[in-house]
A and B are shown apart, each in its own frame.
Chain A
C-alpha cells in the first residue's frame, strides 16, 4: 500500500520533477508509457485473468486510433464522414469522439470475439492473429484515409477544461484514464464477473459443469478488453497525432503481449511495469546499439523460461491473483 501511494505520488509529480530537471521531453515518453500501460492492462484482463491468449489485440488499439483520426481528419477538412444513408459530420471533441472509438472497438471485438472464441488454445492464438492481419490489410489498401501512408491529425482533440496540445495536460489526462481503468479492472477481477472469468481460465469444463455458460462471459471479457484497447488507441492517436496500419500489425500485438508478460501476467500493475520497462529499454538500447533486437530477443526468452510472474513477480515475490 505504501508503495502504491509513493508510486502514485511519483507519477503525479513527474511533470514538475522533469521540468525541474530540464527534461520536459520525457513527459511525452511518460504519456506514451501510460497509454501502452492501458492497452497492456486491457490485454492482461483477458490473458492473465481470462486465459485467452490473443495475438491480435493491436487490432482494437488501431481501430480506436483510426476512429479518432478519421473523424478529426474530416472535422479539419469540413467534410462529412458519411453522406449516406445519413450525414455524419467530422468531430474533434474528445468527449464524443473517444466514447465513439470505444464503441466501435467494442463492436469489432464482439464480432471477432464471437468467431474466435468458438475455439481455444493454439487455434485461438492464431485466429486472433489472422483477424488482426485482415484488418491490417484492409487499412493498408484504404486509400481514402492514406492507406499505408497513414493519416495525420492536424491537431489533438478538444477536451473541455484541458489543452491537450500541452504535453503536461495530456500527461495528466492519460494518468487519470489509466488510474480509472486500473480501479475498474481491480473491482472487475474480484467481482462475480471476475470470478467467472478467472474460473474459466483455470478450468473451463468445470465452469460449465457448475452451470456457467462460459462463452458469454469470455466474450464479454473480450469486448471489455477490446473497448479499453480502443480507448488507448484514441489516446495514442492524439499522442503521436498520426495513425497508420502499422498499429494493427501482428508484431505490434506481439509487442503488447511482451509488455504484459515482461511485467507479469495475471496482475494489474505488472503490465504497467512491463510497458514502462519495454519502452524505456527500447529507447536506451537504441542509443547504445543498432542491433538492439539481438539483446532483446534472448531477454524475452529468459523471461519466458525463468520469470513466471515477470518483473512484478521478481519485485514483490508475490504469486499471481493476489491483485
Chain B
C-alpha cells in the first residue's frame, strides 16, 4: 500500500440529533478497494455523500492527494477525478441510454458551450461511447430511453456513467442492491476488473461480495468507525460481530 490518496480528518455531519457522521478519520490508499459496511443508519451513504461533495460537512476536512477539497463544490470534484453511483438509481430517465453515457463522457472533454454540432455524432465523444456501452453490456439498448430499462439495467447504466468519467476514485453506493443473482455476479466481475485501474470506495450489503472484492473494510456504527481492517481481520473481530452482525438479520 502506498500513500493515502484520500485522507479524512475529523469529519462531522449531524442531522438534528442524528449523528450521521461523527469525528470520523480515515485514510484510503491509492489503488485499494475499500468497503464501508455497517447496519442501516450507520452513516455509510452520508460518508459517501460527504466525500463526493453531495453534502457539506459541519466540521472536518477531506484531502485528495494532500489537497484540501472540503470546500470544493460537487461539480469540481468530478474534474479532480472523483465519480460515484447512487444508491437510488440516479440517471436521466428522459434521455436515451447512449445520451446518458455521452453526458458522462462530455463532462470531462472540455466545456459544453457548443451550440451547433450534434453531440451524438461528435466523433470525439463517439470514440469513448462504444467502449463505455460495451463495458456495461448495454450496446443493444443504446437508443432506448433510460426510463424503459429494467431495474438491473438501470443499475448497470448508473455504474457505467460513473466509469465513463474515467475517475481516479470511484464511489459505489450499493451497486448490487435489487439486482438478480446473475446481475450481481456480472457486476462483481466488472468491479473486480476495475480494481487494477482505480481506487474504489464501496458501500454494499452483500457480505459475500464484499469479502471477495475489498482489500480493506471499515465498519461504521452510528457515524463512527468501529474498526478498519482486511477481510480476515473483520471476520474475526468480536467488536464487529457484536455491533453489526448481531443487529443485522441475516439475509
- Please list the residues of chain A having a beta carbon within 8 angstroms of any beta carbon in chain B: 184, 187-188, 190-196, 198-199, 201-203, 205-214, 217, 220, 319-321
Q: With A202-B95, A210-B78 in contact, is A192–B117 under 8 Å at CB? A: yes
Which of B's residues lie within 8 Å of A, judged by CB?
52-54, 73-79, 83-84, 86, 90-95, 99, 102-104, 106-108, 112-120, 122, 125, 145, 161, 165
List 30 interface pairs A-B (beta carbons < 8 Å), by A numbering: A187-B117, A190-B118, A191-B114, A191-B116, A191-B118, A191-B119, A192-B122, A192-B125, A194-B115, A195-B99, A195-B102, A198-B94, A203-B91, A206-B86, A206-B91, A206-B92, A206-B161, A208-B74, A208-B78, A209-B54, A209-B84, A209-B86, A210-B75, A210-B83, A210-B161, A210-B165, A211-B108, A212-B107, A213-B73, A320-B94
A214 to B75, CA, bound (A): 8
CB-defined contacts of A205 to chain B, threshold 8 Å: 54, 74, 90
Give the docked Cα–Cα distance between A320 and B118 (Å). Answer: 18
- Residues of chain A within 8 A (CB-CB) of B103 are 195-196, 199, 207, 210, 212
Distance in Å: Cβ of A5 to nearest Cβ of chain B: 21
B106 touches A201 (CB 8 A): no
Is the Cβ of A196 less than 8 Å from the Cβ of B74?
A: no
Q: State in angstroms the CA–CA spacing of A220 and B53 once bound together.
A: 24
CB-CB < 8 A to B52: which residues of A? 209
B91 to chain A, nearest CB (A): 7
- Bound together, the chains give a CA A314 to CA B235 distance in angstroms of 60
- Cα–Cα distance between A214 and B76 once the two chains are bound (Å): 11
Query: B114 touching A192 by the CB < 8 A rule?
Result: yes
Q: Which residues of A contact B108 (CB under 8 A)?
A: 211
Interface residue from B84, B95, B104 paired with A198 (Cβ < 8 Å)? B95
Inter-chain residue pair count (beta carbon < 8 A):
113
Cβ-defined contact, A202 with B78, below 8 A: no
Contacts of B86 in A (CB 8 A): 206, 209
Contact B94 A209 (CB under 8 A): no
Minimal beta-carbon separation of B202 from chain A (angstroms): 17
Q: Using Cβ atoms and an 8 Å threshold, which residues of chain A touch B99?
A: 195, 198
The dominant DSSP class at the A interface is: helix
Q: How many whole Å from A32's CB to the nearest CB in chain B?
A: 29
Measured between alpha carbons, how far is A292 from B195 in the docked complex, in Å? 68
- Shortest B195–chain A CB gap in Å is 22
A101 to B52, CA, bound (A): 43
In the assembled complex, which residues on chain B have CB atoms less than 8 Å from the CB atom of A187?
A: 115-118
Give the distance to chain A from B55, nearest Cβ to Cβ, in Å.
Answer: 11
Q: Choose one: B92, B93, B119, B165; the contact of A211 (CB below 8 Å).
A: B165
CA distance A164 to B102 in the complex (A): 45
Q: Beyond the given A192-B119, A212-B112, could you list 17 further A-B residue pairs with CB under 8 A, ordered by the A residue number?
A: A190-B120, A195-B119, A196-B103, A196-B112, A198-B99, A202-B93, A207-B75, A207-B103, A208-B78, A209-B53, A210-B75, A210-B83, A210-B103, A210-B161, A211-B165, A213-B76, A217-B113
CA distance A209 to B120 in the complex (A): 21
